[in-house]
Amino acid sequence: MTRRVLVTGASGILGRQLQARCPQGWTVLPFARSELDITDRQRVREVIAAAKPDAVVHAAAMTRVDDCEKEVDHTFRVNWIGTQNVAEAAAAVDAHMVHLSTDYVFDGTKVGPYLEEDPTGPLSVYGRSKLFAERAVQSSCRRWAVLRTQWVYGPGGTNFVDTMRRLGGEGKSLQVVDDQHGCPTFAGHLADGIYRVLDEDPGSGIYHLSGGGATTWFQFAREIFRQTSLEVEVSPCSTEQFPRPAPRPANGVMRNYRLELSIGDPMPAWQKGLEEYLSLTQHASP
Ligand SMILES: NC(=O)c1ccc[n+]([C@@H]2O[C@H](COP(=O)([O-])OP(=O)(O)OC[C@H]3O[C@@H](n4cnc5c(N)ncnc54)[C@H](OP(=O)(O)O)[C@@H]3O)[C@@H](O)[C@H]2O)c1
């Protein structure tokens, strides 16, 4: 029997991959912002009640983290209240609610990778809004999973890989931040991991779901140039030399520990994700 998964934020980076990589046994009901604005509580209720999906993957969010610092009310309305709307509507039809969260819920001071139960301490408006959203899901739903991911890239929208390819192709020498640590995550692998969670249901809870391994933006850039055979002069710099409005966790590395211990870690190494993304997009100009 085919099960149905309703996807919010369907035109975003992850939303597209959830459609592109939908496995056998699932049908996607995609809702972009133009079809379903998650801040409209009544509409969210009506749409989810009418669709009666088996699962909801909530991929809609305000993700421009620097803009979140000045658009505070908008950020909380979309990321917190919007998520509460989706969670309540999913609970009303007893759908499995899958919510995407972020390493920005952590303050980045831990030595070593973050595990699911480590204390949170968001530094930014985006991080706080996503933490409130996690709590809204936990308190509203009977069957739920909060999946924390990070450094996501994929076709559609701007991303670090395309930016590096473009700048590298222009022959410029580059400086890239080398004191922020994280796990690059190819959106296609993230979508596969989400379907695995839906299929094998490890139980309600918070799970980390990022590309395997860890790196810095500088090392990530070097790997992009290695895999694309671009000869680029790239040197490391510090976060202080490249200030941004939203503070980033210096260490955002998350281990997919709870999945490792339950159904097995579904995420390939981050270098594999890059390989797959580049092979998908090699003929497209970045
Ligand atoms: N990208 C990352 O590095 C990253 C890292 C950690 C966690 N996440 C989380 O992963 C999820 C998917 O992110 P993504 O990378 O796919 O981001 P994305 O490409 O920015 O997609 C988010 C989508 O949400 C939509 N949206 C914004 N406000 C909305 C509203 N009020 N109602 C309905 N839809 C709305 C956006 O539509 P418009 O384009 O029309 O604004 C966009 O299509 C999000 O929960 C995000 O917080 C992402």
Q: For residue 152, how far is its CA from the centre of ligand 1 (angstroms)?
A: 11
Picking from 149, 168, 125, the residue whose alpha carbon sits closest to that of residue 253 is 149
Q: What is the per-residue pLDDT for 281?
A: 87
Q: What is the per-residue pLDDT for 284?
A: 57
Q: Set out the domains of the chain in order of their start, with CATH numbers.
A: 3-158+184-212+253-268 (3.40.50.720)
Element spanning 234, H or E: strand 234-237
Residue to probe by mutation, ligand 1, list 7, 33, 163, most atoms within 8 Å of CB: 33
Q: Is 177 in the pocket of ligand 1 (CB under 6 A)?
A: no
Q: For residue 99, how far is its CA from the centre of ligand 1 (angstroms)?
A: 11
In contact, 8 and 86? CB cutoff 8 Å = yes
**What is the atom index within ligand 1 of the atom nearest the CA of 64?**
20
In contact, 85 and 41? CB cutoff 8 Å = yes
Q: What is the per-residue pLDDT for 117?
A: 97
Q: What is the per-residue pLDDT for 73?
A: 98
In contact, 146 and 181? CB cutoff 8 Å = no
Secondary structure of residue 202 in the 3-state scheme: coil
Secondary structure of residue 116 in the 3-state scheme: coil
Residue to probe by mutation, ligand 1, list 21, 63, 97, most atoms within 8 Å of CB: 63
Element spanning 148, H or E: strand 144-149
| Angle at alpha carbon of residue 87, lines to 183 and 146, rounded to 5° | 25
**Mean pLDDT of successive 10-residue stretches along the chain, which has 286 residues:** 96 98 97 98 98 98 97 98 98 98 98 98 98 98 97 93 93 92 98 98 98 98 95 94 90 98 96 96 62
Secondary structure of residue 102 in the 3-state scheme: strand
Q: For residue 60, how far is its CA from the centre of ligand 1 (angstroms)?
A: 4
- What are the counts of helices (DSSP H) followed by strands (DSSP E) for the chain? 11, 12
Q: Is 155 in the pocket of ligand 1 (CB under 6 A)?
A: no
Rounded Cα distance between 120 and 235, Å, is 32
Q: Is 61 in the pocket of ligand 1 (CB under 6 A)?
A: yes
